[in-house]
Amino acid sequence: MTASQHTHASPESFLTPPMRALENAGALDSLVSAADTLSSVVTGSASIRDLLRGKRLGHAVHPLLVQVPMGTWLSALVLDAVGGRDGRGAARLLTGVGVLSAGPSALTGWAEYSGLQLRDKRVTVVHAGANGAATALHAASWLARRSGRHGLGRALSLGGMTAAGLGGYLGGHLSVSRQVGSRDAAFEDGTNGRP
C-alpha cells in the first residue's frame, strides 16, 4: 500500500475515529487556553525553551524522560506481582522515583506544547491530564505503601498505570501520527524517513 492509499483508505484501527473526534473537540478549547498560559510560563525564555526541547541534542527530550516514570512504575507493578513481601520496599522506592521523575518529564512536555497547532493541543491537554492523574495515583500509592497499606498501594499503582497507558497512547499519537516534537532542521530533508 502506498502512502497516498494509506491516507485515503478506511481507518485501520477502531481508535482512529475517536482520535479524530478528540482532535476536533472544541469543548476542550477552554482547557487549551489555560494550558497556553501554563506553557508560556514554563517556556518564558528562549534559552529555557531550547533546553527543555532538547535543541542541543537535536530532538525532543520529552520522549527520553518519560521512560523513567513509566519504567519505574511498571517495575513496581512487576514486583507487586512476583516480589512478595520481600519486594514491597523496592516497589515503594520505584513508585516514589517515578513520581519524582514525572515533574521534569512534564516540564519538557509543556515546552513541546508551546509550538503545537490547535488540534494537537486538544490531544495534548488530555494527554497531560491522563499523565497528571497517573502521577497523582502513584503518589497516593507511595503514601499507602509507606503507611503499610500495600494492597491499596498496589491497587492505586494499577490505576496509575492505566492512566499512564492512556497518556502514553495519546503521546504516541502525537509523536507518530501527528509528527509533533522538536527536531533539528538538518533532518528535515523531505524524504519522510526514506533513503
pLDDT, residue 165, reads 96
pLDDT, residue 87, reads 96
Share of the chain above pLDDT 70, in %: 89
- Helix (DSSP H) and strand (DSSP E) numbers for the chain: 9, 0
Element (H, E) at 92: helix 88-113
CA dist list (Å): 19 to 26, 127, 169: 13, 12, 10
Three cell numbers written together for 189: 530533508
- Per-residue pLDDT, averaged over 25-54, amounts to 91
Torsion angle of C-alpha atoms 25, 27, 30, 34, degrees rounded to 10 = -50
Q: Which amino acid type is present at position 18?
A: P
- Per-residue pLDDT, averaged over 103-127, amounts to 94
Nearest Cα to Cα of residue 75 among 93, 94, 92: 94
Q: What CA–CA distance (Å, rounded) separates 46 from 26? A: 30
Q: What CA–CA distance (Å, rounded) separates 61 from 66? A: 9
pLDDT, residue 1, reads 46
Q: What CA–CA distance (Å, rounded) separates 159 from 175? A: 24
User: Quick check: 65 pLDDT over 70?
Assistant: yes
User: Quick check: 96 pLDDT over 50?
Assistant: yes
Its pTM stands at: 0.86
- Per-residue pLDDT, averaged over 142-155, amounts to 97
User: Quick check: 6 pLDDT over 60?
Assistant: no
pLDDT, residue 154, reads 97
Q: DSSP secondary-structure letter at 169?
A: H
- Per-residue pLDDT, averaged over 2-19, amounts to 71
**Residue for grid cell 494509506:** 6
pLDDT, residue 179, reads 85
CA atoms within 13 A on the CB side of 190: 0
- Per-residue pLDDT, averaged over 98-103, amounts to 97
Three cell numbers written together for 116: 503545537
